[in-house]
């Protein structure tokens, strides 16, 4: 028999979800049978898989030591300080500044150095995550491409992650902004790009596509921050959150992002790589603003967070546009 005291991180989870994560390698049939056989108790009472757990509850799973060993898969985590800038943290939420070149999640090669693993290592060090026993894994509510730097938000508790996920889905009480250097000098000081997008499942490429042919609504707002000879620095508001939305939208109006080898100006990419060493898109998630949020996100109500352009991107501007910055 294994006894677990439910922590704040797992408050509000259904018993089935908790047990499935706790016994992560167990067949679903085994878990459902355990509930049917009343091998799972909360506070001394048999419960169904729909029961909701609360902080301080005592959960008992009647399994053998060998079954525990067979069905548990400790998550890889080491107690380490967080190596990247922390922009904000409270008991429920962590906002960090991701450098370019770092994956948010692992990929098919099993890369260990990811932002997600760094977060788990940090929370393990603080005693806010226990890889061997915690059924909830702190996770990001959204993601950035490997080569896009900037703000990423993590839910440290199940309630916070659910609220953040819904917030990013609805988008009425959160605004996300990016900085991008684009090819060409934008004529208008501000505007919007409202073009539906479709992702090709086979190639992974995204393109402008009418809704009647499978496209999904996509809206990007922009304003000029600074103009340079041959280039423009833009602040962009991501109103919807489609894959590669900003990159495809800007390319579609003839102002692709500098360094974007997938959707950009390939001749300019070669020039920028040779002159500045930039081999990825000049895109930085610079700002995030929260509206009237509550519950697990109450501390974020009305707050905004910013992170400046990283040094490598500032150097690109200095090298590409020196006369305009003197």
* Helices within the chain (DSSP H only): 15-22, 28-36, 65-71, 115-126, 158-170, 245-252, 266-276, 311-320
Catalytic residue status for 145: yes
DSSP label at residue 320: H
Closest CA to 21 of 132, 181, 144, 100: 132
DSSP label at residue 14: B
DSSP label at residue 167: H
Question: CB 36: neighbour CB atoms within 10 A?
Answer: 11
Closest CA to 115 of 93, 96, 133, 131: 96
Gap between the Cα atoms of 215 and 30, Å rounded: 42
DSSP SS3 for 322: helix
Closest CA to 285 of 143, 85, 163: 143
Reported in sequence order, the residue ranges of 6-102 that DSSP labels E, i.e. its strands, are 40-42, 45-46, 58-61, 86-89, 93-98
List the catalytic residue out of 145, 158, 189, 279.
145
Indicate which residues carry an active-site annotation.
145
């Amino acid at each position: 028999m294994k006894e677990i005291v439910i922590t704040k991180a797992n408050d509000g989870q259904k018993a089935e979800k908790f047990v499935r994560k706790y016994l992560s390698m167990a067949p679903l049939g085994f878990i459902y049978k355990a509930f049917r056989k009343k091998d799972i108790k909360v506070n001394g009472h048999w419960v169904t898989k729909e029961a909701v757990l609360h902080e301080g509850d005592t959960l008992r799973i009647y399994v053998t030591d060998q079954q525990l060993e067979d069905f548990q898969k400790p998550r890889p985590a080491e107690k380490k300080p967080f190596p990247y800038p922390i922009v904000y943290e409270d008991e429920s939420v962590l906002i960090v500044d991701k450098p370019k070149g770092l994956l948010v999640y692992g990929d098919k090669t099993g890369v260990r150095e990811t932002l997600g693993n760094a977060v788990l290592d940090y929370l393990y060090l603080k005693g806010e995550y226990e890889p061997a026993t915690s059924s909830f894994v702190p996770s990001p509510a959204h993601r950035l491409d490997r080569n896009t730097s900037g703000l990423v938000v993590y839910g440290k508790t199940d309630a916070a992650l659910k609220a953040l996920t819904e917030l990013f889905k609805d988008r009425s009480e959160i605004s996300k902004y990016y900085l991008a250097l684009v090819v060409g000098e934008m004529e208008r000081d501000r505007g919007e790009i409202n073009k539906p997008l479709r992702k090709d499942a086979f190639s992974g490429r995204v393109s402008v596509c009418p809704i009647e042919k499978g496209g999904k609504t996509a809206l990007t707002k922009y304003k000029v921050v600074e103009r340079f000879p041959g280039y423009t620095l833009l602040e962009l508001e991501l109103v919807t959150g489609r894959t590669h939305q900003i990159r495809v939208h800007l390319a579609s109006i003839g102002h692709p992002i500098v360094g974007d080898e997938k959707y950009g100006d390939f001749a300019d990419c070669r020039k920028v790589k040779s002159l500045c060493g930039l081999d990825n898109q000049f895109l930085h998630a610079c700002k995030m603003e929260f509206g009237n949020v509550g519950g697990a996100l109450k501390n974020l109500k009305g707050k905004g967070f910013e992170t400046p352009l990283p040094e490598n991107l500032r150097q690109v501007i200095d090298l590409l546009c020196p006369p305009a910055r003197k």
